[in-house]
Amino acid sequence: MMLKRYIEEGGPDKFDLVIVGGGITGAAVAYIAAARGLSVALFEKKDYGGATSAATSKLIHGGLRYLANGELKLVRESLRERRILGNIAPNFVYPLPFLLPMYKRWRGNIWKMLIGMYVYDALSYDKKDTWDRSKKLENHRLINHRKTIRVEPNLQKENLRNAFYFFDYQSIFPERLTLAFIKSAAEYGASVSNYTPVEGFIFGEGKKITGVRVRDIFTDRTREIHAGLIVNCGGTWADKILSLASGEGEVKHRVKRSEGIHIITKKIAGNHVVSLQKPDGGHMMIMPWREHSLIGTTDKEFLGDPDDYKVSMESIDEIIENVNNNFGRKISREDIIHAYGGLRPLVDDQTKGSYETSRKYEVYDNAADGIEGMITVEGGKYTTSRSLAREVLRLISAKLNRTLSDPVSDNLYLSGSEIRDMKQFMIRQHLNYKDFSRNTVEYVSRNYGTESQVVFRIARSNTRFAEEVTHDGEILAEVVYAIQYENAKTLRDIMLRRTGIGTLGNPGKAVIDKIASLAAGMMGWSEKRKEDEIASLIKVYDLF
């Protein structure tokens, strides 16, 4: 489908809901609300899924470590949502094996871990109830020392006892998965706009919020939008939105923020996640992604202004040190080809260390803060975003005094993901697009799903657009598609969120210039705007 940008297209100025924030939480709420019959407008101050939702470990997981806190309900919810996301987004979400080595110096009781694994399997009793047989997951196995070394030769071997081998899911492109929720919302009639910050609120009788003032940052045009209810899905910025809504009022809820950093290196482990325990009891993971290793994450409280956050060398060095102390293959700063980070929102009453803090969520009626007409979502994690959205809809239904149509989000494919059998789909793709390399067919088919036919059509329309620009087959047609169909407005949108051309580090001046020139021609950028866009992208890579 062609995604429209409401602030440009125009349309109604009154909705049942206005959602502030276009990360995975806002996207999921917009989709489920629209699918259940509400009129919805969503506004994102930058790009869809460009902050916390883009700073993940690219996993859809049940939260094994939350068992240590006794949070069985959260783990069960996560495991159910893991299966559902594998069903409704089959081209994005795939089974991924994990290796958890046990050492004699391991902090904790191995029997407790063994029991935990059986509990994890028991709580995921429906993991084989998948629409696509290839998504079925096996139970865990305990493998001996010899097999552990055979599976992962680069492990530290001193004091190694054995290892647990189990499965979760990987999300190959979380930014595009978030976009699939946005597109699904739009298919049900939601009006969505990126680069449209909410800059003020409209008040009615009794200081009840009845709407928002939004601004298109590209044209500076403002518009007043009225709504029955405002849903604050600002994530790490949720308390800033509350402060804007309250004026001089005192806001009780504060967002606790946790920093998460990841680095990308050449491949240092196998085609499985290696989960290593750190001396402090936390875990670090080495994950396979696009023939590289994705390593992370840090998980510590961040106390500053979220608008000032950036990746620090201190956090990068922390990951390097953890790899070198806990894994057999050593790395240095020179091995890092890219690093990214972000802030995760945690609910404000969680006071333990960030790693021990769970990823539970809360949905607040801000009438308790004296802000009538708004509800706020806090906390949560990517895996449970759909389930969180369903909880939000319960409160929305009560606040609007509306009986909503039946929920459908657990049994309908997301936009572009309407694929019953991935294996058969990929066979057909390779047969239909023999004029492209195997890498290109694999990459484009998985990351664009049923929409890949449009990308290939663009590539066939002009040989220039069939040019490969990454090692794993990305083509310039994706850039054209991002601009024409997916509301990409900046070079960063194109390189980091619509395509993966820039997500494995700086692709080089030649590639950046080529894509910037193509984008400038399509969007009418001046030479100065083009140079500014290039400079903005380069800042992403200026870590060292």
Asked whether residue 126 falls in the same domain as residue 264, the answer is yes
Q: Is residue 295 part of a domain?
A: yes
Q: Is residue 116 part of a domain?
A: yes
Q: Exposed, middle or buried by CB within 10 Å (0-12, 13-18, 19+), for 418?
A: middle
Q: Are 67 and 222 in contact (CB under 8 A)?
A: no
Phi-psi domain of 196 (left: phi exceeds 0; alpha: psi -120 through 50; beta: other): beta
- What torsion, rounded to 10 degrees, do the Cα atoms 11, 16, 21, 23 define? -100
> Cα separation of 275 and 410, whole Å?
30
Asked whether residue 278 falls in the same domain as residue 147, the answer is yes
Asked whether residue 158 falls in the same domain as residue 182, the answer is no
Pairing of strands 160-171, 59-60: antiparallel
> Could you give the number of structural domains in the chain?
3
240 C-beta neighbours (distance < 10 Å), count: 16
Q: Is residue 407 part of a domain?
A: no
Residue that the structure tokens 């609300």 belong to: 33
> Cα separation of 297 and 52, whole Å?
13
Asked whether residue 305 falls in the same domain as residue 385, the answer is no
36 C-beta neighbours (distance < 10 Å), count: 21
Asked whether residue 442 falls in the same domain as residue 462, the answer is yes
Q: Is residue 287 part of a domain?
A: yes
pLDDT of 356 reads 44
Cross-strand pairs, 275:
285
Q: What are phi and psi of 14, to 5 degrees?
A: -135, 130
Q: Can you give the CATH number for the domain in which 363 is found?
A: 3.50.50.60
248 C-beta neighbours (distance < 10 Å), count: 5
Asked whether residue 237 falls in the same domain as residue 262, the answer is no
Q: How many helices (H) and strands (E) does the chain have?
A: 16, 18
Please measure the distance between the N-terminal and C-terminal CA atoms of the chain and give it in whole angstroms. Answer: 40
Closest CA to 50 of 29, 31, 85, 22: 22
Last residue of a domain, one of 298, 322, 345: 345
Q: Is residue 61 part of a domain?
A: no
Q: Can you give the CATH number for the domain in which 121 is found?
A: 3.30.9.10
Q: Are 525 and 535 in contact (CB under 8 A)?
A: no
Q: Is residue 79 part of a domain?
A: no
388 C-beta neighbours (distance < 10 Å), count: 27
Asked whether residue 365 falls in the same domain as residue 241, the answer is yes
pLDDT of 468 reads 98
Q: Are 493 and 3 in contact (CB under 8 A)?
A: no
> Cα separation of 19 and 454, whole Å?
30
Q: Is residue 406 part of a domain?
A: no
- Strands (E) across 248-373 are located at 256-266, 273-277, 283-289, 292-296, 300-302, 336-346, 361-365
Asked whether residue 448 falls in the same domain as residue 526, the answer is yes
Q: Are 217 and 28 in contact (CB under 8 A)?
A: no
pLDDT of 274 reads 97
Q: Are 409 and 390 in contact (CB under 8 A)?
A: yes
Asked whether residue 530 falls in the same domain as residue 485, the answer is yes
Asked whether residue 249 falls in the same domain as residue 389, the answer is yes
Asked whether residue 441 falls in the same domain as residue 528, the answer is yes
Q: Which two tokens stand for residue 328?
A: 């057999």
pLDDT tens track of the chain, all 544 residues?
A: 799 999 999 899 999 999 999 999 999 999 999 999 999 999 999 999 999 899 999 999 998 888 888 899 999 999 999 999 999 999 999 999 999 999 886 556 678 888 999 999 999 999 999 999 999 999 999 999 999 999 999 999 999 999 999 999 999 999 999 999 999 999 999 999 999 999 999 999 888 999 999 999 999 999 999 999 999 999 889 888 998 998 765 566 667 888 899 999 999 999 999 999 877 777 899 999 999 999 998 877 888 888 888 888 889 999 999 999 999 999 999 999 999 998 888 765 543 444 444 456 789 899 888 899 999 998 778 999 999 999 999 999 999 999 998 888 999 999 999 999 999 999 999 999 999 999 999 999 999 999 999 999 999 999 999 999 999 999 999 999 999 999 999 999 999 999 999 999 999 999 999 999 999 999 999 999 999 999 999 999 987 6
Q: Are 330 and 342 in contact (CB under 8 A)?
A: no
Range of the domain at 262: 91-170+257-345
Q: Can you give the CATH number for the domain in which 492 is found?
A: 1.10.8.870
The string of DSSP letters for 394-406 reads HHHHHHHT-PPPP
> Cα separation of 164 and 151, whole Å?
11
Closest CA to 281 of 121, 122, 113, 98: 113
> Cα separation of 154 and 331, whole Å?
12
Count Cβ neighbours within 10 Å for each residue of 513-531 and write b for 16 or more, e otherwise.
ebbbebbbeebebeeebbe
> Cα separation of 353 and 298, whole Å?
12
pLDDT of 163 reads 95
Q: Is the peptide bond before 384 cis (omega within 30 degrees of 0)?
A: no
Q: Is residue 515 part of a domain?
A: yes
* pTM (2 d.p.): 0.95
Asked whether residue 436 falls in the same domain as residue 503, the answer is yes
